[in-house]
Chains A and B, each alone.
Chain A
Amino acid sequence: MATKHLMRLDLIFKNERDTADILKKVMTKSNNDIINELISSGLKGRGGAGFPTGLKWKLTADEVSDEKYIICNADEGEPGTFKDREILVRVPDKVWTGMAACAKIIGAKEGFIYLRGEYDFLKKELLKSIDEFHLLLDELNFPFRINIFSGSGAYICGEESALFESMQGDRGEPRNKPPFPTQKGYRNKPTVINNVETLAHTYSIFKYGVDIFRDLGVQDSRGSKVFSVSGDTPIPGIYELEFGMTLQRFVEDFGDGDAKAVQVGGASGFCVPRKKFEKTIIGYQGKLTGTSLPTGGSMMIFNSSRSMYNVLHNYLEFFVEESCGQCTPCRVGTQQLLLGIEKVKRGELPSGYLDKLLDLAETMRITAKCGLGQSVANSFSSIVENFKEEMIY
C-alpha cells in the first residue's frame, strides 16, 4: 500500500533465498570484524530497551564460561505488536542466521526460540525451517543447534530474566539485576537474548553492509524499524519504516483523518495527543525513548470517537492480570490505579484524587522490580494528563 510521506523500506521482508551464501560469508569473517560491523551500524535492540546489539554480543563473548546461550525472544506479548510473528513466518532464515552468527562470536552450542503459547500454530513450519537450517550449519561444520521452547500465556515472560526462569521450569518471575544476562542468564550462564527483529536486522547488515543500514534513520536511532499499525486506520498492518519520522507524518499516512491520539509502544508505552504529533519523533531519542520505553513498534491510533478512559481502563486491566505479583508496588499499585479511575469516573471520589494516582504511578516507576511495574506510569500519566476531562466526565 502506498504511503504519502514516509518511505516504505524493504530490507527485512525481502526474500532472496541467499541464506547459504550469507551464512558462509559470516562464518568466514573474524569475530572482531562482525562485532565491529554491528557496533558501527548503530543497531539497537528492537525488543524495547534499545541496548546496542554489537555491545551485548561483545560483553557476552568476553565472559569466560564453558556454556553460553543465544536466545531469540519471540514472546511478543505487548498489546498492539504482531511484527515478530510476521518475520518468523516470512523470513525465518534471517533470524536463524543472526542466531548462528551470535553463537559463533560468543561460543554457544545451543540456541532457543522462546515462542509465546499464542503462536504455537507456527511451530510445525518453524521446526521444518530450523531443520533445513541445521543442514546448512552441518555443511559448514559449525556445531550449533536451535530449539523451540513454548510459552504458556504470560506477558511477563517476555522480560528476559522471567523468560529464563520460565525455561528453567519456574514461575515467570523477574530476577534482580545485576547480574545481567550477559553474565548470568539462562541456567545462570552468559546469555545473549535478542528480539526476533533485532536478529533479522543483523542479517540485513551482513548482507547489505554497514553503510546502507547506518544511512537510514537519525542520530542514535539508526536503521529501519518494523511497525505494527492498528486501531483507527484504514490500512492496519506491518510496515518497515525509517526511524526519525514525526508522529504528524505518521498520522497523515496511516490515520483516518480524525486521529486524536497515538499510543506508541503498546500498553507500556506513551500516549501522544494530537497537539503533540508535530513535536514527537519516533526513535530512541527524546522523551519518548527514556531508557525503559519499549519502542517495540506498536502504534495504536485512536480517533475522536474513542473514549480514552476506556483505553486506559483496558490497559490497566491488562497490567493487573499480567503483573507477576512478586513485588508490592506493582501488584497492589496496578489494582489501586484501576480501582481509582473507576471511582473517579463514577463520582465516588473527587477529580483531585487523580493527582494521588499520578503520584502512585510515579512511585511504581521508582520502586517496582522490573520493567512491567516501572512502565505502567508511561501510559497512565500520559493518558490521565492529556485527557483529564475524559477521566472525570
Chain B
Amino acid sequence: MSDVKQIVHNLTNQYGKSVESLLPILQNIMEINHVITEEAMIEVARELDISAAEVFGTATFYSFLNTSKPYGKYIIRVCKTITCMMHGKNQIIEEIELMLKIKPGETTHDRLFTLLETNCLGQCHQGPAMLINDTPYTQLTPSKVRDIINSYLVLEVSNY
C-alpha cells in the first residue's frame, strides 16, 4: 500500500466510513501531508464509497484545504482584514517576504514555510495577527515576526 493509501485507510478506521467523516478525514490528510492529492481524494472516495467528484467538491471548497502544490510544514496565514490592515499588516508581510524570500501563495524551497493571506482571524483588537499552523500570534511588529520565525528555524535545526 502506498503511503497515501495507508494514511487514508487509518483515518477512515479512526473516523468511520460515513460521509460525515469526510471533512475530518480531509483535515487530517492536510495536517499530515500539507496537500490533498488526486490520489488521496480517489482513495477517500473508495473508502467512503462515495464518488470522487463529491470528495473533490468538498476538498476544493474550504480555504484551509489545499489541493494544488504541497504547502510547507509551517503554514503562515497573515490576516488581511481591515483592522489588521490598518495596524500594519503590509509591513508584516514585507518582513516575512524579506526573511523567507517568498511572496504570498508561495512555499520556501526547503518546504518549511508557506506564506498565505487570510480573512479575519478574530484577533482584531490585537492586530496585526497571524496563525502559524494552529497557533495564533498577535500584536505583531516586524521585529516580533522575525523573532517568531527564527524560533521555528531554531526548532528545525535542533530537530536534526
Seen from chain A, the residues whose Cβ lies within 8 Å of a Cβ on chain B are 76-82, 85, 116-121, 149-155, 166-172, 228-232, 236-238, 300, 306, 310-311, 314-315, 318, 321-322, 324
- Given A152-B23, A231-B86, decide whether A172 and B122 contact each other with a Cβ distance below 8 A: no
- Do A79 and B82 touch (CB < 8 A)? yes
**Residues in B51-106 with C-beta less than 8 Å from chain A:** 54, 57-58, 61-65, 80-83, 85-86
Q: Nearest Cβ in chain A — how far from B122, in angstroms?
A: 4
* Most A Cβ at <10 Å: residue of B18, B22, B27, B82: B82
Contact B86 A80 (CB under 8 A): no
Bound together, the chains give a CA A155 to CA B82 distance in angstroms of 16
Could you list some 29 contacts between A and B, CB below 8 A?
Answer: A77-B120, A77-B122, A80-B83, A82-B122, A82-B125, A85-B122, A118-B118, A121-B136, A149-B24, A150-B27, A153-B62, A155-B119, A166-B23, A169-B18, A169-B19, A169-B54, A170-B57, A171-B61, A172-B62, A228-B124, A230-B125, A230-B127, A232-B86, A236-B125, A236-B126, A310-B82, A314-B80, A318-B81, A322-B119
Contact A152 B64 (CB under 8 A): yes
Does B110 make an interface contact (CB < 8 A)?
Answer: no
C-alpha spacing A119/B64, complex, angstroms:
12
Task: Given contacts A152-B27, A154-B63, A318-B119, list 20 more A-B pairs with CB under 8 A.
Answer: A79-B81, A79-B120, A80-B81, A80-B124, A82-B124, A85-B122, A153-B62, A153-B63, A168-B19, A169-B20, A169-B58, A171-B58, A172-B62, A237-B125, A300-B83, A311-B82, A314-B80, A314-B82, A315-B82, A324-B61
B122 adjacent to A118 (CB under 8 Å):
yes
Bound together, the chains give a CA A153 to CA B118 distance in angstroms of 9
Q: Which residue of A lies closest to B119 (CB)?
A: A318
Question: B interface, how many residues as a size bin?
Answer: 35 or more
Q: Which of A80, A150, A152, A322 has the most CB of B within 10 A?
A: A152
List of B residues within 8 angstroms of A81 by Cβ: 122, 124
A301 to chain B, nearest CB (A): 9
- Chain B residues lying within 8 Å of A324, measured Cβ to Cβ, are 61
Which residue of chain A lies nearest to B19 when distances are taken between CB atoms in the complex? A169
| Structural contact, A120 and B86, CB atoms closer than 8 A | no
Contact partner of A77 (CB less than 8 A), chosen from B54, B119, B124, is: B119
B156: chain A residues at CB < 8 Å are none
Q: Which residues of B contact A (CB under 8 A)?
A: 18-24, 26-27, 54, 57-58, 61-65, 80-83, 85-86, 118-127, 131, 134-136
CB-based contact B58/A300 at 8 Å: no
Nearest B-chain residue to A84, judged by Cβ: B122
Q: How far is the CA of A115 from the CA of B54 in the complex (A)?
A: 23
Residues in chain A near residue B22, CB distance under 8 A: 169
Contacts of B134 in A (CB 8 A): 120-121
Inter-chain contacts of B123 with A (CB < 8 A) = 82
CB-defined contacts of A152 to chain B, threshold 8 Å: 23, 26-27, 62-65
- Report the separation of the CA atoms of residues A302 and B130 in the bound assembly, to the nearest whole angstrom: 22
B-side contacts of A149, CB under 8 Å? 23-24
Instruction: Please give the distance in Å from A78's CB to the nearest CB on chain B.
Output: 7
In the bound complex, do residue A236 and residue B27 qualify as a contact, i.e. CB atoms below 8 Å apart? no
Given contacts A166-B23, A322-B119, contact A228 B125 (CB under 8 A): yes
Interface centre among A77, A79, A228 (most CB of B within 10 A): A79
Residues of B close to A76: CB separation below 8 A: 122
Chain B residues within 8 Å of A77, by CB: 119-120, 122
- Which residues of B are found within 8 Å of A311, using beta-carbon distances? 82
